[in-house]
Amino acid sequence: MSAFTRKIPEGDNHERLVCGDCGFIAYENPKVVVGTVVVHGDKVLMCRRAIEPRLGFWTLPAGFMELGETMEEGAAREAFEEAEARIDLDGVLAMFSIARIGQVQVIFRGRFAGEGPPAFAAGSESLEVALFAWDEIPWDEIAFPSVTWALNAWRDRGRGTLGPPAGNPSDDPRGVHRLASSAPVPPAATGSETEL
């Protein structure tokens, strides 16, 4: 098997992995993560992770896109895989750059498909799933900073027209800060902000 070495290929300006035998360049590019803030009334669907990283912590149904699917299809697939939830999407709620791990995250706002009470259950990647009102969200057990960012975008946008997607917070525009060991609890929503 050929050995790959890191070097700057001719005509490029970035160091790449290059095959020593044939010159094939193995580009390492960011991965796309898609997910959804699935809303039912004033509550949001969250999943307790059954896998690493952050086993046992709470997240939104989200994951890496697969080849051959659209962002919308990926978000719907992740909601079904992690929470056995069939959903309809309202549009893009937020887009985040997580430069430290090479991710672009596209987060939709969505709702349970169909009539009647929401149907959901823990999928193979979740220990449990639950609906949480804003003041019930387990803030000290959130898996990733971008989950908090997405939840804040949901609170800020409400049920109305989504408008331009939310982005990284101003104190972390490149997504390089890791989750603190004791994440701060976002301020409580007041007035109409709680009616999401």
The residues, any chain, with a CB within 8 Å of residue 181's CB and separated by 6 or more, are none
Residue 141 domain-assigned? yes
Residue 18 domain-assigned? no
> Binning pLDDT at 50, 70 and 90, where does residue 192 land?
very low
Q: Region 94-120: what's the mean pLDDT?
A: 97
CATH number (domain holding residue 116):
3.90.79.10
Q: Is the pLDDT of residue 193 over 50?
A: no
Lowest mean pLDDT among 93-97, 118-122, 157-161: 157-161
Instruction: Give pTM, 2 decimals.
Output: 0.85
Q: How far lies 125's CA from each of 8, 52, 62, 167, in Å?
A: 39, 9, 11, 27
Residue 63 domain-assigned? yes
Residue 128 domain-assigned? yes
CA dihedral 31, 35, 172, 48 (to 10 degrees): -110
> Binning pLDDT at 50, 70 and 90, where does residue 2 land?
confident
In the structure encoding, which two tokens stand for residue 195, read together?
């009616």
Do residues 114 and 88 make contact, with C-beta atoms less than 8 angstroms apart? no
Residue 188 domain-assigned? no
Total structural domains within the chain: 1
Q: Region 8-21: what's the mean pLDDT?
A: 94
Q: Is the pLDDT of residue 1 over 60?
A: no
Q: Which of 87, 105, 103 shows the shortest CA–CA distance to 153?
A: 105
Residue 155 domain-assigned? yes
Which pLDDT does position 70 carry in this prediction? 97
Do residues 41 and 114 make contact, with C-beta atoms less than 8 angstroms apart? no
Q: Around Cβ 68, how many Cβ atoms within 10 Å?
A: 7
Chain segment 24-60, per-residue pLDDT in tens: 999 999 999 999 999 999 999 999 999 999 999 999 9
The residues, any chain, with a CB within 8 Å of residue 164's CB and separated by 6 or more, are none
Q: How far apart are CA 188 and CA 196, in angstroms?
A: 13
Residue 115 domain-assigned? yes
Residue 13 domain-assigned? no
133 lies in which domain range? 31-172
The residues, any chain, with a CB within 8 Å of residue 100's CB and separated by 6 or more, are 174, 175, 176, 178
Chain segment 51-90, per-residue pLDDT in tens: 999 999 999 999 999 999 999 999 999 999 999 999 999 9
In the structure encoding, which two tokens stand for residue 119, read together?
């149907």
